[in-house]
Structure 1
Amino acid sequence: MRRRGFFALAAGAVVLAGCGGEGAPAGAAVDRLFLLEPAADGHGWDGIARRLASVLVRSGLARTVMAVERPGVLGSAPRDAFVVPGAPGLAGDAGDAASGASGASGVSFAREGRLLVTAMPMVAAAEIANTAAVVEAATPLARLAGDWTALVVPAGSRLRAFEDLAAALHRDPAGLTVGGRLEGGSDHVLYGMIGKCLGVDTRLLEYAGYLAAADAAEALRVGRVAAMLGSARALLPAISAGRLRPLAVSSGGRIEGIDAPTLMELGVRLEYSDWCGLLGPRGMSEGDRQAAIALCERLDATPHWRALCAANGWSRVFLGGDDFRRWLSTETGRTRGVLHELGLLTSSDTTCWGSCVRRP
């Protein structure tokens, strides 16, 4: 199994400010908002904090938004990501459960909020690093968008349909290599889920993870991998040009422009989306939590957010508050189980702190 670094990190910040957008939803705007993103190349949601910041300001939901990339926190306890060293008014650890505040100690969310962009790779990274689960270490606020995955092969591949790949895996689970984004990320987990649904020995599956989707596509082109999993929207141009042949998509329904069945249609009872959402600091007061959830609900309803999702081929999959918390808890358990079956965890139970993770 090929191994690549799971945490390639970068840093940066951008400040956006405005007086409120045209047609902004009713409700008071947050005075100052810090939108934090665990910086990591290759996870599929790079730069989403800047895009969200622009939408929040243009829609009049926040007066000033600072989008900050937080290097080094992916795989650490999520509460660490809420600390912004040197930021005005944020000298302390606002993520500490004892503070009960969303910004600086004693400051309400309406005056100064702090939100952390989360996604499936953060959930997996916390499990692999053997830190507290995301759902436990922060306050789940909302799931916002999803990105469906396509399973593709080169146009000239001997694998003419998904059934051919399934038959090959049944004969020899390690007989072919599937490529995609980083090991332990959404593509890898989805491949493990597919193998599990097919009834093959998931531990034997060969997966090659790459830092960039372009690297995985090149590996597919030159034959280093037999098939590739990746963002359906990103693969659409190559599919439309006839360079790639789609075998299946992970969505619940067919995707426009991609002539391929869903996994569900193929008898693989699985629907899977790479997703992103927002977290608040652990220990938020109930008032601040409700205010933050309301902000997320208003964000989902804005024309600017809907236009951004449409332009990027994302599905709006909003789920807020307690519903998101329950879903995230279930999804964490599902991810943990697959990571264990793929050999990335020595146990599917993360109560064994310090000994669960398989070390090199």
Structure 2
Amino acid sequence: MLAPMLDKPGKRAPSIVWEDNMKNWICLAVASALVLGTGAASPAMAELKRLEIVAPAAPGGGYDQNARIMQSIFQKKGLASGIQVENAPGAGGTIGLANFVNKNKRNPSVLMVGLALVGAVLTNKSVVSLDDTYPLARLSGEYQPIVVAPDSPLKTLDDLVAKLKADPGSVSWGGSGPGSSDHILYGLLAKAAGVDPKKINYVVLTSGGEMLSGVMGGHVTVGTGGYSELSSQIKTGQVRALGIASPERLPGVDIPTFREQGYDVSFVNWRAVVSSADPKGQERAELEAAVAEMVKTEEWKQTIGERGWQDIYMPPAEFAAFLKEEQARVQALFKDLGLIQ
């Protein structure tokens, strides 16, 4: 994900670097009732059996897709068998997280999450958080463009920022729930441009489809989402991208980065896997080995490449340290956005 760091003021405005470490927590995959098998998937590990992966979000989204990709590769490579995927959305994923934590305190279960859950824990005042789980790995990420209608007078990020500075209320920013990766991205851009993020006129839209129709119909000034969700509309000219929040241009993607245009913002919406808070030593080793094996497979690399995702794998120790930093950073940004006190 992206680690926000204050940079030296540039020629335009203060900047924020959301280094390759931060972005959107709102969906997970909970794996429960995991029982170790006796068959060998490889000389290094036993095959995991009866693995249930629950994605606390509606089917079809990035986190649900991650759960089903794991299901497919685990089964194909003999890392696990009898795997079921269940969707359990609600409250930004915190309902699924609470159920998972309460039901699986000693069960070596697996949970897939995205950045939005960090924010959802804060905005929903959840009594449980990722501190109540064991971080197995950070997996994949996706960079987000900001898009406008094809006939919008806004041609560049400079145009958007100029309009924002002249009259903050005149720019409506379409996105998913408060504190989502969409909201975070907009807040980072506002700060990099020297505008108080609290002045953002944020419009909550219930789905990617509603966001697209809002932008194309002129109901909101700008919209955003993962590049894979917007790429076909960008390529066909249904929407036009002003910039993308990647640290450098993505291969084969003809969209200028925010940094190219003078706004030092880089932002990746990441997804990860966690288990119950206290798996036993052997169980923990089996889970860690299975995930580490999965991300090495050609099937994993090919699948995330086809979806336009980035491979940002972190093993447990590195991911655990990243999570602690991330929670503090998200909390600070949410104060800037006025989402928490």
Give the structure 1 partner of residue 97 of structure 2.
78
Greater RCO (Cα-Cα under 8 Å, separation 6 or more) = 2
RMSD, aligned α-carbons: 3.1
Distance 2:151 2:231 in 1: 17
* Contact preservation (8 Å) 1:43, 1:121: no
SS of the residue corresponding to residue 28 of structure 1 reads strand
1:133-172 superposed Cα distances (whole Å, 9 cap, x missing partner): 6331211111111111011111211111111111222222
Give the structure 1 partner of residue 80 of structure 2.
62
Ranges of 4+ aligned residues in structure 1 off by more than 4 Å: 6-9, 23-26, 40-44
Give the structure 2 partner of residue 311 of structure 1.
306
Distance 1:308 1:216 in 2: 26
**Would the alpha carbon gap of residues 193 and 139 (structure 1) be closer, same or farther in structure 2, given more than 3 Å must change?**
same
Give the structure 2 partner of residue 188 of structure 1.
183
Aligned length: 311
1:46-125 equivalence runs, <5 A: 46-72=64-90, 74-76=93-95, 78-82=97-101, 93-95=103-105, 101=106, 103=107, 113-125=108-120
Q: Percent identity?
A: 27
Kindly state the Cα deviation for residue 336 of structure 1 after the two structures are TM-superposed.
1.8
Structure 1 gaps, min length 5: 1-5, 14-18, 84-92, 96-100, 104-112, 348-360
SS of the residue corresponding to residue 144 of structure 2 reads strand
* Contact preservation (8 Å) 1:79, 1:137: no
Query: Is 1:169 the equivalent of 2:164?
Result: yes
Give the structure 1 partner of residue 315 of structure 2.
320
Q: TM-score, normalised by structure 1?
A: 0.77
Letter in 1 for 2:321: R
Give the structure 1 partner of residue 154 of structure 2.
159
Distance 2:70 2:143 in 1: 20
**Would the alpha carbon gap of residues 336 and 40 (structure 1) be closer, same or farther in structure 2, given more than 3 Å must change?**
farther
1:261-302 superposed Cα distances (whole Å, 9 cap, x missing partner): 212223322221111111111122344333322221111011
SS of the residue corresponding to residue 64 of structure 2 reads coil
Distance 2:254 2:185 in 1: 20
Give the alignment partner of residue 141 of structure 2, picking from 146, 158, 180: 146
Kindly state the Cα deviation for residue 257 of structure 1 after the two structures are TM-superposed.
4.2
Query: Is 1:31 the equivalent of 2:26?
Result: no
Distance 1:326 1:28 in 2: 28
Higher helix share: 2
* Contact preservation (8 Å) 2:215, 2:223: yes
Give the structure 1 partner of residue 210 of structure 2.
215
Kindly state the Cα deviation for residue 191 of structure 1 after the two structures are TM-superposed.
0.7
1:61-92 superposed Cα distances (whole Å, 9 cap, x missing partner): 11221222234472248353256xxxxxxxxx
Give the alignment partner of residue 224 of structure 1, picking from 207, 212, 219: 219
**Would the alpha carbon gap of residues 61 and 48 (structure 1) be closer, same or farther in structure 2, given more than 3 Å must change?**
same
More off after superposition, 223-232 vs 38-47: 38-47
Q: TM-score, normalised by structure 2?
A: 0.81
More off after superposition, 138-147 vs 67-76: 67-76
SS of the residue corresponding to residue 75 of structure 1 reads helix
Give the alignment partner of residue 283 of structure 2, picking from 265, 288, 291: 288
SS of the residue corresponding to residue 226 of structure 1 reads coil
**Would the alpha carbon gap of residues 41 and 201 (structure 1) be closer, same or farther in structure 2, given more than 3 Å must change?**
farther
Letter in 2 for 1:94: N
Distance 1:211 1:287 in 2: 42
* Contact preservation (8 Å) 1:35, 1:67: yes
Structure 2 gaps, min length 5: 1-24, 33-37
* Contact preservation (8 Å) 2:197, 2:336: yes
* Contact preservation (8 Å) 1:77, 1:126: no
* Contact preservation (8 Å) 1:20, 1:58: no
Query: Is 1:135 the equivalent of 2:130?
Result: yes
More off after superposition, 142-151 vs 238-247: 238-247
Query: Is 1:246 the equivalent of 2:241?
Result: yes
SS of the residue corresponding to residue 158 of structure 1 reads coil
Kindly state the Cα deviation for residue 178 of structure 1 after the two structures are TM-superposed.
1.4
Give the structure 2 partner of residue 277 of structure 1.
272
Distance 2:83 2:338 in 1: 41
SS of the residue corresponding to residue 45 of structure 1 reads helix
Distance 1:172 1:293 in 2: 51
* Contact preservation (8 Å) 1:150, 1:229: yes
Kindly state the Cα deviation for residue 45 of structure 1 after the two structures are TM-superposed.
2.5
